[in-house]
Amino acid sequence: MPPKVLIVDDQPSILTMVSAILGDEGYETVSTETGSEALTLYERESPDVVFLDVWLADLDGLQILEALRERDPDAAVVMISGHGTASTAVMAMKMGACDFIEKPLSYAQVVQAAAGALARRSPETGPPAPSIGDDRLVETGELKVPPLLPLLRAGKLRQRTLRQSTVVYGLGLHSGTRTGMALQPLPAESGIHIVTLPSRTHIPVHVSSVADTDYATTLSREGQEIRTVEHLLSALHAYGVSNLLIKVHGEIPVLDGSAIEFCDLLEEVGLIEQDAALPELVIDRRYEVGNGTKSLVIEPADTFSVSYTLSYPPPIGDQFHEFTLSSPAAFRAEIAPARTFGFMRDVKMMNELGLGSGGRLDNFILVGEDNVINTELRFPDEFVRHKILDIVGDLYLLGYPIRGKVTARFTGHRDNIAILREIVGATARS
C-alpha cells in the first residue's frame, strides 16, 4: 500500500500542486480546504502524513495540530505557511510537528518533508536527507573538504545525530531579540548545516562560512548570517554530534550564556550512533598564530586538550586552566557551565556597535571595576574556562573532532578562526 498524505490548505492551488507532486512520487493523497473536515478525514482515512497550513479560514492550524496530536500522539504533521515567523515555527515544533516549510513551495521541499515525516512515523527507516536552503540536498561529504583529507584518521567512535527533532527558544545575546531554533537529525556522512529562517538560506557549519569574529563567531552566506554559534558547537563537539540540521532565525539562543543547557538538551533528546565511523582530524605538526604576547598554538598529541592563560586587571586577575576532552561528562562538569562575560566599561561601545543587546543579568557575567556585579561565579576561574569553551566550539568548524594539544594566551574568536584557516591552507599546499 502506498503511503497516504492528508493535505489541508484553504488555497485550492496549493492543494492541487502538493497533490500532484506527491502523486508523482507514489503517494496516495486526500485533501480539504477546512480544518474541521481535516479532523474528520484524519479519523476516516488514517493518513501516514499530514501537510497542514498554519492559516485556515475556519480554524487555526496550530489548534488542529494540537487536536491531531491528542487523538494520535504519533501523528506526523508538516506545517506549511505563507507568512510564518520563527516563533510560529518553534511553537509548531514544540507541539509535535515534524517540520515547518514556507510558501512558495518547491517540488524538492514537498518531497523531502513528506519523506522526513514518514521516517518519523517509521523510525526504523532512519532520518532522510532533507531539502534545505535553495532546495539543494545535503550531499554526502559536503563538509569534508579535500584539503583536510591528509589529516583525517579513522577514529574509535561512530558518527552521531539526535534521536529526534527538538526546539529551543530564547534571546540572542547580541541581537537582543527572541530567536527560535529547531534541531533535526541527519543521516550519516551529512555534516552539520544551518538553514536560516525565514529565508531558508543554507549555511554549511564550516570555517569557510565564518564572516565575523567580533565578540562572537558569525557564519554567513548569500547575505544571511547567524551569530553566536560557538556555545552550541562546543556541546556538539564534546558529545560527538557530527550530523545535524539547525534551523534558526538570526542568532543561536544564548540561554544562560554557557553550554550547559545545550548539554542538557542533547541528553534529554538522546543521541543515536550511526552506521559510519567518525574520523578524527589528527594534527600533524605545530601550527601557530599570533605573536609573543598573544598566541594560539596547536600541535600533535594523543588526545584533544586546551591550556589557556589569561590576564585581566582585578577582579579577574591571572587565570590558567587545562582541560582534556576525555568524555562528554568531563566537558559537562568542567567547562560547559562557564558563562560568557563582559566588562561594564565596554557596554557603551558594544551598544554603539549594536552588540550585547540580549545581555541580561542571568545570561552573562558583568564585570565592574572592582567586582562581579550581577552573579556568583560557578568556578573561581570561570572566565578562563569560558575561553576554553569557545575554543572547543570554534575548532569544531573544521567538521571533525580534533586530536591535538592547544595552548592559548590572551586569544579570542579571531585567533581561533585564524588557526583553522592556517590548518586548511597548509594542508592545501601539502
**Amino acid sitting at position 93:** M
Could you give the CA distance from residue 37 to residue 179 in angstroms, rounded to a whole number? 34
CA neighbor of 284 nearest in space, from 134, 121, 150: 150
Could you give the CA distance from residue 384 to residue 400 in angstroms, rounded to a whole number? 24
413 is annotated as an active-site residue: yes
Which secondary-structure segment (H or E) carries 8? strand 4-8
Could you give the CA distance from residue 82 to residue 101 in angstroms, rounded to a whole number? 9
Burial 282-295 (b: 16+ CB within 10 A, else e): bbbeebebbeeeeb
CA neighbor of 405 nearest in space, from 304, 335, 287: 304
Catalytic residue, from 206, 231, 386, 413: name it. 413
Contact between 185 and 164 under an 8 Å Cβ cutoff? The reply is: yes
DSSP 237-248: HHHTB--EEEEE
CA neighbor of 163 nearest in space, from 66, 282, 243: 243
Nine-digit cell string for 41: 478525514
Please state, as a whole number, how many other Cβ atoms lie within 10 Å of the Cβ of residue 351: 12
Could you give the CA distance from residue 250 to residue 51 in angstroms, rounded to a whole number? 26
* Residues β-bridged to residue 408: 296, 308
Could you give the CA distance from residue 132 to residue 130 in angstroms, rounded to a whole number? 6
CA angle 111, 114, 115 (to 5 degrees): 85
* Residues β-bridged to residue 277: 158
Could you give the CA distance from residue 331 to residue 211 in angstroms, rounded to a whole number? 27
Residues involved in catalysis = 413
